[in-house]
Amino acid sequence: MHDPKFIKLTKSIAKHGQDTPIRVRPVKDALPFEFEIVAGHRRHAACLALDVSTPGGFAIIAMVDAAAGETLHLVRKMYRENDDREPLSAYETGMMFRHWLDAKVFPTHEAIAAETGQSKQNVGKYIALASLPDYVLGAFRDPRVLALRWSTDLAQASEARGTELKPLAEEIAKRKPAAPPEAVFAELIAAVPKRKAGSASASESIKEGNKVLFELSAREGRYGIRLGKHVDKRLRKPLQQDLKEWLKAWLKDHAGASK
């Protein structure tokens, strides 16, 4: 109701009337409802808002779409219209794909990929984005601002830090003014170890207060250090030199004892 485009649409319909009818199709065994919307959900929502604020109500113009009987045909039609008119956000696309799976319109991610021309990997990312916990979505205020490229990191953060992520997300959601989406994303995934397929590495985040100083990972004798984002980049070279000298001395003292 606070979306600028929706407000603009509502004002336009109030001033000029509803130029384009919504399309509906008959439904069975759904009383008291006789029809469901095929196209025009935003126009329908705008008319509902006007119906509440208009003395005597606000009528909506609807057209019965007799060709929308088959669900698969309808889904294909709606997808083309959304893509041609104004592309859905990544979150809305993910919700649509989830509904398709739940309704068994398409049985698998592969089937959705084949129908839409999306890659199987992207279909999975869209669905993962729409499947994020409510508290994660709430941190962004409007889930439509979520970028598809954030899907994997946010899903991993939710899984790895569930108990501590929820209060953080709820606290972010209450901030005024609202933080930019990029800042919310960065804060939610901070200190979450990156996963790699087939990797058995262990990772640990070393913090000072709420800030990550560095992440230490270890795998089969290989060690990695990732500095926190707030650490001055000019410290990298002297740190590398100090680490080299320290490691050399440490191994010299301990190598004999470990034989």
> Which mean pLDDT values do the consecutive 10-residue runs of the chain (259 residues) have?
85 91 88 88 92 93 79 75 70 92 90 90 94 95 94 91 87 93 93 52 73 80 82 86 88 69
The b-or-e profile of 92-128 (16+ CB within 10 A means b, else e) is bbbbbbbebbeeebbeebeebbebbebeeebbbbbbb
> What integer pLDDT is reported at residue 85 of this predicted model?
59
pTM reported for the whole predicted model: 0.57
**CB count in 10 Å sphere of residue 156:** 16
> What integer pLDDT is reported at residue 154 of this predicted model?
94
pLDDT (tens digit per residue) in 47-97: 999 999 999 999 999 999 876 667 777 777 777 766 555 678 999 999 999
Sign (positive or negative) of CA dihedral 213, 132, 108, 76: negative
* Nearest-angstrom CA–CA distance, 210 and 228: 11
- The number of C-alpha atoms within 13 Å of 30 and in the hemisphere containing its C-beta is 8
16 Cβ contact list (under 8 Å, min separation 6): none
- Beta strands (DSSP E) in 87-210 are 202-208
86 Cβ contact list (under 8 Å, min separation 6): none
Give the pair of three-digit tokens for residue 178. 């609202």
Residue 79's closest CA among 65, 62, 93?
93
